[in-house]
Amino acid sequence: MIDLRSDTVTRPGPGMRAAMAAAEVGDDVYGDDTSVNVLQEYGAGLFGKEAGLFSPSGTQTNLIALLTHCQRGDEYIVGQEAHTYRYEGGGAAVLGSIQPQPLSNQADGSLAISDIEAAIKPDDVHFARTRLLALENTIGGKVLPSGYVKAATMLARQRHLATHLDGARICNAAIKQGMTLADAVEGFDSVSVCLSKGLGAPVGSLLLGSRAFIKEATRWRKMLGGGMRQAGIIAAGGLYALQNNIARLAQDHEHAQLMADGLAEIEELSITPPQTNILYVDVPPRRAQALGEYLRAHGILASVGPRTRLVTHLDVSRSDVLRVVDCCKQFFALR
């Protein structure tokens, strides 16, 4: 099957599996797991932060970050479309008594600087304390402009807000912009990075920040049930991903563009030009279900709807992309 539902569907290849099988392990709750320690240090160095914390999922690293930055009754500024706000079960509110202050995302994925400024509450008993600005990059496959990131994090600093980046796909953003990972996350106090999306590891996310921040975050991870024991087995997959699978993300971006160019030849479809590995295609609503079934019958898995999201990743080759385009052309030629 060609699976375009998400970049989370990748399977570890022989090199990654060999690294996992050979991993040195220990009890990570005691800090004894060499492979986890190496991953955390390597990740921190790569992103220019002091320390790292390995956790089972991006949902958990984001939640840990919010719990570490904010106290009960604090507020964080976040996008309406942000994963942290919209797709994580309201964890910050449910488990942290942290109030979200959602703002509309602009067309480019950013939060308008003036909206952020207007949402910062004065020191007044009527208001929750505005404590944190949380951004996401990439967001819906879109790369936040680097000048914007600088301006937003500077504003936060001036107004004494902490900053968190949901960088589940920050490596896609950095590769797209030709930036180092450290430059791409500069200005953020904390960053979460998914190892199990385009980077291809089976499990895990890294939270990065200052040594003091990570020390506090480690307590929250334990409280959330994220303390793992011989986690080096999976950490080794994450380390392999960071060492081998970042530069190749450029191929996923090329493949998304190739798919966009091919599908653009189909009159019935409307394409949003992809910036990274996520392609949005508008499908005539009355044909969406049949298209999804047709693709599936031809070995292609995709979440087809009126607004279809197609995601390229390391298990999707150039010839797979061409097959997807051909298959869509056949479907619309049938009528």
Ligand X SMILES: *Cc1c(COP(=O)(O)O)cnc(C)c1O
**CA 205 to CA 173: how far, in whole Å?**
17
Size of the site for ligand X (CB under 6 A): 11
Closest CA to 152 of 91, 220, 105: 105
CB atoms within 10 A of CB 13: 14
**CA 103 to CA 9: how far, in whole Å?**
31
> Does 194 contact ligand X by CB under 6 A?
yes
CB atoms within 10 A of CB 306: 12
Least CB distance from residue 83 to ligand X, whole Å? 3
Least CB distance from residue 98 to ligand X, whole Å? 17
Please pick, from the candidates 59, 130, 153, 172, the single residue that binds ligand X as defined by CB under 6 A: 59
> Does 260 contact ligand X by CB under 6 A?
no
- Span near ligand X by CB under 6 A; candidates 14-22, 55-63, 71-79, 246-254: 55-63
> Does 172 contact ligand X by CB under 6 A?
no
**CA 45 to CA 159: how far, in whole Å?**
28
Closest CB to ligand X among residues 3, 166: 166
**CA 275 to CA 141: how far, in whole Å?**
6
Contact string 196-225 vs ligand X (x = CB under 6 A):
x--------x--------------------
Report residue 293 CA to chain centroid gap: 29
Least CB distance from residue 89 to ligand X, whole Å? 10
Least CB distance from residue 59 to ligand X, whole Å? 3
Tokens representing 157 are 């600093």
Could you give the count of Cα atoms lying within 13 Å of 71 in the half-sphere of its Cβ?
A: 2
Least CB distance from residue 136 to ligand X, whole Å? 5
> Does 57 contact ligand X by CB under 6 A?
yes
> Does 136 contact ligand X by CB under 6 A?
yes
Tokens representing 116 are 């952020």
> Does 33 contact ligand X by CB under 6 A?
no
CB 102 within 8 A of CB 136: no
> Does 83 contact ligand X by CB under 6 A?
yes
- Span near ligand X by CB under 6 A; candidates 53-61, 214-222, 241-249, 269-277: 53-61
Tokens representing 93 are 């509110």
User: H or E segment at 319?
Assistant: helix 318-334
Residue nearest to ligand X (CB): 58
Which residues sit at the interface with ligand X, rule CB under 6 A?
57-59, 62, 83, 136, 166, 168, 194, 196, 205
